[in-house]
Chain A
Amino acid sequence: MSLYILPKERLPGFVDNLRAGFRVVGPVRTETGFAFDTIHSADELALDYPTTILPPKKYLLPQRETLFTFHTGTSEQGARQIDVQPAFEDVQPTVILGVHTCDMHGIMLYDKVFTEGYRDEHYIARREQTYIVGIECLRPCDEASFCKDMGTLTAPPVYDLHMTAVDGMYLIDTGTEKGERLLLSNVEVHLATTEDIRRLSQTLSAKWPHFRHRLKMTKDQIPSLMTINYGSNIWDTLGERCLACGSCTNVCPTCFCFDVQDEMDLNMSEGQRSRIWDSCQLHEFALVAGGHNFRGSKASRVRHRMMRKGKYIQQVHSLTGCTGCGRCQRACLVDITIPGTLNALYDEMQIDLNPATGA
């Protein structure tokens, strides 16, 4: 598509114009860090934020949402009736500003999970009204990330607009036609010149050396690493440490499990069905009728998460199951990390394969 130039001083005007027609959300400073939140003016925007606790997935799949309300009654013939009214909470024209490339990979996975096969009407209603405006990371967010290893340091094709800060301007790539219309109708921009494009590619190639590799293996080797190590005793070590607190999955941009609950109102004739984020790290997650828990031990649950991130999601959806965003590492209080685990599995294999060093 096309590449435009937005001088930085025009950003506030752009945001104000967007706010006339959209809920504009973006990274803002909090007491202790940054979070995606609704913004009221461009001053609140912290586009150079390192990372957030929750990824922007919360705008596409809110932590809690009502799916439908129901009303039970009796028909004139005396039969019991249930009248169901679908609810669509939090569906509104929204622009998410400042999405990092790793999180765009998360959104790309969400799009696949919630629209292919079973089409999730609540997700789709929200997604259709959402514009994704990305921002290129020119420096690593912090030492917990490993996006370079996971190949998520470049933007996947889910953005409507994608910005890269170069000197006093943003170079904006239009990913979709609606994105281009959004840009052109809300701010004055001009097409990038050959010189602008040269500066952009210079900026983009200059950023790579700042990002380090944390994994000892390549991304392509991870699925087989997981297969071979399904029986590793590393899982027991991690399981012993794990607090079964679910923080790692709740903050993860590629976790999408939810639990569905019904609640009746006080009058006992009305109620609602809602869903809430769930986590495979919790004891109850794999508990099925009859009381059998097919993942009763924490070790089996930690392994399950790692298997999903390293192999299952890739197998089922052909997309990365881990974006390398580092959020789970930042959230975990007992230092269970994806790079730490993968590298430990990798090291163990080297020992196994090498009789000279093997015990």
Chain B
Amino acid sequence: MPPKPKIAFFDFTSCEGCQLTVVDALQTHLGLLDLVEIVQFREAMSERGEDYQIAFIEGSCTRESDEARLRAIRAQAAVVIALGACAHLGGVNSMKNRWPIENVQTYVYGKHGRERYESYPARPISAVIEVDYAIPGCPIDRLEFIRFVQKLLQGRKPKLPDYPLCVECKLAENACLNKLGQPCLGPVTLAGCDAVCPSYGDGCEACRGFAPEANFAHMREILQGHGLSEVEIDAQFTMFNAYQLKAMGANAPLSTGAGNGSRRRTADAEKLPSSTFAAPKET
């Protein structure tokens, strides 16, 4: 038998929920442990091996000092996988990207926050290193993780759905939330979670990222139809995907010149500045 591939798990800025899902998956699919050797997994074991071929990385990159560690992982691993929305997209961490970083630091850490805590706009790890695959979701789907690892070990290219969430939602015969007057980003979101949120009556917030053909203009119209303000729509779109939208620059489907989208917005500009994120009119 050839030696088992060695895999390692790493975390950056994240809640570790995806790693917990992995722990969960390993408990229900014990067979996986026969096929791989886990050499590093802070969430589940204390040993640390530096000799790995496959690296799963959870969390987004939110500090310059994270970059060296990411590059070191990339230099060692033959395959790098972004695990979950933070690593894949920037995730909820990237919500802060909508404001100048100095103001965010002050707001979150207080007056001396800027001196004491290092921080920069949250980025998906693919903004720093080359990433081979992503397992999307906040958190990742346990079964999708298992299927992914199976395919990877079989030498087949793991493939994710590239169509909108509505497909899975219709197969589940859910009544459409948008038709019932409840906002749901399903039409612009990548499928793969079996439409778990709409199936339980909650609108999708696009934690798996946007579908390749996302029709933002008409998604906005649908949300406007629910009476959502431009600011609220921007807030919906940027829940997990602020980094992606910012990268679209002037093409970002966000209302120009709108406020910062925060419900807790105050008049005090130093505490909560206006958004830098409204697509610039001209650059």
Contacts and interface: CB of A to CB of B under 8 A. Distances in A.
A334 B188 CA distance: 13
Nearest to B188: A243
B32 A53 contact: no
A282 B211 CA distance: 11
A interface, over-half SS: loop
Interface stretch (A10-18, A26-34, A126-134, A175-183): A26-34
Nearest to B186: A245
B157 to A, nearest CB: 13
Contacts of B32: 266
Given A243-B164, A284-B162, A250 B170 contact: yes
A199 B170 CA distance: 40
A36 to B, nearest CB: 9
A277 interface: yes
Contact of A267 (B31, B173, B222): B31
A52 B174 CA distance: 11
A214 interface: no
A283 B212 contact: yes
Interface of A: 30-33, 35, 52-54, 58, 63-64, 241-247, 250-251, 263-268, 276-277, 279, 282-284, 298, 330-331, 333-334
Interface residues of B, number: 34
B175 A243 contact: no
Contacts of B146: 266
Given A243-B166, A244-B213, A250-B170, A264 B150 contact: yes
Interface string B214-235: 0100110110000000000000
A245 B147 contact: no
B266 to A, nearest CB: 36
Contacts of B252: none
B175 A33 contact: yes
Contacts of B211: 244
Nearest to A37: B173
Interface string B132-166: 00000000000000110010011000000011101
A241 B222 CA distance: 11
Given A263-B147, A264-B150, A283 B162 contact: yes
Interface string B51-78: 0000000000000000000000000000
A10 B49 CA distance: 73
B186 A53 contact: no
A241 B212 CA distance: 15
Given A35-B173, A53-B175, A250-B170, A242 B154 contact: no
Interface stretch (B89-97, B176-184, B271-279): B176-184
Contacts of A331: 170, 176
B167 interface: yes
A53 B173 contact: yes
B167 A241 contact: no
B1 to A, nearest CB: 12
Contacts of B221: 334
B261 interface: no
B163 A334 contact: no
B213 A247 contact: no
Given A243-B164, A245-B187, A266-B150, 15 more contacts: A53-B174, A63-B171, A244-B164, A245-B166, A245-B186, A246-B170, A247-B170, A264-B150, A266-B32, A268-B35, A279-B167, A330-B179, A334-B215, A334-B218, A334-B221
19 contacts: A32-B175, A53-B173, A243-B188, A243-B219, A244-B163, A245-B163, A246-B163, A246-B164, A246-B166, A247-B170, A247-B176, A250-B170, A266-B35, A266-B150, A267-B31, A276-B171, A279-B167, A298-B213, A333-B176
B4 interface: no
Contacts of B265: none
Contact of B218 (A31, A54, A241): A241
B167 A283 contact: no
A53 B175 CA distance: 7
Given A32-B180, A268-B153, A334-B218, A243 B163 contact: no
A283 B175 contact: no
Nearest to A243: B187
A264 B154 contact: yes
Nearest to B219: A243
B42 interface: no
Contacts of B48: none
Contacts of B215: 241-244, 334
Q: Which 5 A-B pairs have the closest CB atoms?
A: A245-B166, A32-B175, A250-B170, A266-B31, A243-B187
Nearest to B167: A246
Interface string B15-59: 000000000000001011001000000000000000000000000
B164 A31 contact: no
Nearest to A263: B147
A97 B154 CA distance: 45
Given A32-B180, A268-B153, A53 B170 contact: yes
Contacts of B154: 264, 268
